[in-house]
Amino acid sequence: MIIQERLIKTFLELVSIDSPSGEEKNIVSVLTAKLHALDAKVQTDAFGNIIAKVYGKGKPFLLNAHVDTVEPGRNIRPLVQDTIIKTDGTTILGGDPKAGIALILEALTILKEKRETHVPIEIVFTLGEEAGLEGAKHLDYTLLSATEGIVFDGEMGIENIDISAPGYNRVDIDIIGKSAHAGVEPEKGLSAIMIAAALLLRLPQGRIDKETTCNIGLISGGSARNAVPENAFLQGELRSQNVQKLNSLSDKFNSEILYIQKAYAEAKITGKITREFDPYTLTSTTNPLIQQIITVLAKRGITPKFLASGGGTDANIFHTHNILAVVMGTGVYEMHTKREFVKIDELTKAAQFCTDFIRSLSSI
**Would you say 102 and 351 are in contact if contact means Cβ atoms under 8 Å apart?**
yes
**Would you say 78 and 16 are in contact if contact means Cβ atoms under 8 Å apart?**
yes
**Would you say 196 and 175 are in contact if contact means Cβ atoms under 8 Å apart?**
yes
Report the C-alpha gap between 64 and 46 in whole angstroms: 18
SS3 for the chain is: CCCHHHHHHHHHHHHCCCCECCCCHHHHHHHHHHHHHCCCEEEECCCCCEEEEECCCCCCEEEEEECCECCCCCCCCCEEECCEEECCCCCCCCHHHHHHHHHHHHHHHHHHHHCCCCCCEEEEEECCCCCCCHHHHHCCHHHCCCCEEEEEEECECCCEEEEEECEEEEEEEEEECECEECCCCHHHCECHHHHHHHHHHHCCCEEEECCEEEEEEEEEECCCCCEECCEEEEEEEEEECCHHHHHHHHHHHHHHHHHHHHHCCCCEEEEEEEEEECCEECCCCCCHHHHHHHHHHHCCCCCCEEEECCCCCHHHHHHHCCCEEEEEECCEECCCCCCCEEEHHHHHHHHHHHHHHHHHHCCC
Residue 129 among the catalytic residues: yes
Choose, from 24, 129, 148, 162, the residue flagged as catalytic: 129
Choose, from 24, 45, 68, 230, the residue flagged as catalytic: 68
HSE, CB side, 13 Å, CA atoms: give it for residue 209: 8
Residue 96 among the catalytic residues: no
What residues are labeled active site? 68, 129
